[in-house]
Amino acid sequence: MKTEKESTATVVKNTGSRYMLSKLPEWKLFPAIIRGRMRMGDFDSTNPVAIGDRVEYYIEPDGECVITSVLPRRNYIIRKSTNLSRQSHIIASNIDMAFLVVTVALPEIKLPFVDRYLVTCEAYGIPVVILLNKADVLEKDAGAASLAERFVEIYGGAGYDVLKVSIYDKESISAVMDRCRGKLVLFSGQSGVGKSSLIKLLSGSADIKVLPISSSHLQGKHTTTFYEMYPFPSGGFAIDSPGLRSFGLVDLDRSQLSCYFPEMRSVMDNCRFMPCSHTHEPGCAVKKALEEGKISRERYDSYLGMLLKDEKYR
Ligand code: GDP
Ligand code: ZN
Cα end-to-end distance, the chain, whole Å = 45
User: According to CATH, what is the number of the domain 7-70?
Assistant: 2.40.50.140
Sheet strands (E) in 134-241: 161-164, 184-188, 228-231, 237-240
- How far is ligand 2, taken at its centre, from the CA of residue 150, in Å? 25
> At 276, is the secondary structure helix, strand, or coil?
coil
User: According to CATH, what is the number of the domain 76-240?
Assistant: 3.40.50.300
How do the pLDDT tens digits run along the chain, 314 residues long? Answer: 545 567 999 999 887 778 999 999 889 999 999 887 665 555 566 778 889 999 999 999 998 999 999 999 988 877 765 555 666 778 788 999 999 999 988 788 888 889 988 998 898 889 999 999 999 999 899 999 999 999 999 999 999 999 999 999 999 999 999 999 899 999 988 888 999 899 989 888 656 665 555 444 444 444 445 678 899 988 899 988 765 544 555 556 788 899 999 999 999 999 999 999 999 999 999 999 999 999 999 999 999 998 887 655 54
Q: How far apart are CA 229 and CA 232, in angstroms?
A: 10
CA-nearest residue, atom 17 of ligand 1: 194
Q: Identify which of 210, 214, 215, 219 to mutate to test ligand 1's pocket (most ligand atoms within 8 A of the CB).
A: 210
Sheet strands (E) in 171-268: 184-188, 228-231, 237-240
Using CA of residue 134, residue 135, residue 140, residue 145, what is the dihedral sign? Answer: positive
- How far is ligand 1, taken at its centre, from the CA of residue 292, in Å? 38
> At 102, is the secondary structure helix, strand, or coil?
strand
For 139, half-sphere exposure in the C-beta direction (CA atoms, 13 angstrom radius) is 8
The reported pTM is 0.85
pLDDT attached to residue 155: 97
- How far is ligand 2, taken at its centre, from the CA of residue 263, in Å? 12
CA-nearest residue, atom 13 of ligand 1: 212
pLDDT attached to residue 124: 82
User: According to CATH, what is the number of the domain 254-307?
Assistant: 1.10.40.50
- How far is ligand 1, taken at its centre, from the CA of residue 273, in Å? 47
pLDDT attached to residue 277: 95
> At 246, is the secondary structure helix, strand, or coil?
coil
pLDDT attached to residue 297: 96
pLDDT attached to residue 281: 96
Of the listed ligands, the closest to the CA of 133 is 1
pLDDT attached to residue 109: 85
∠ Cα 9 10 13 (to 5°): 130
Q: Which residues line ligand 1 (CB under 6 A)?
A: 133-134, 136-137, 166-168, 189, 191-197, 210-213, 223, 243
pLDDT attached to residue 112: 84
CA-nearest residue, atom 16 of ligand 1: 212
- How far is ligand 1, taken at its centre, from the CA of residue 26, in Å? 30
Q: Which helix (H) or strand (E) holds 299?
A: helix 297-307
Ligand 1 atom having least distance to the Cα of 166: 23
Q: Identify which of 197, 199, 201, 205 to mutate to test ligand 1's pocket (most ligand atoms within 8 A of the CB).
A: 197
- How far is ligand 1, taken at its centre, from the CA of residue 109, in Å? 14
pLDDT attached to residue 211: 55
Listed by start position, the domains of the chain span 7-70, 76-240, 254-307
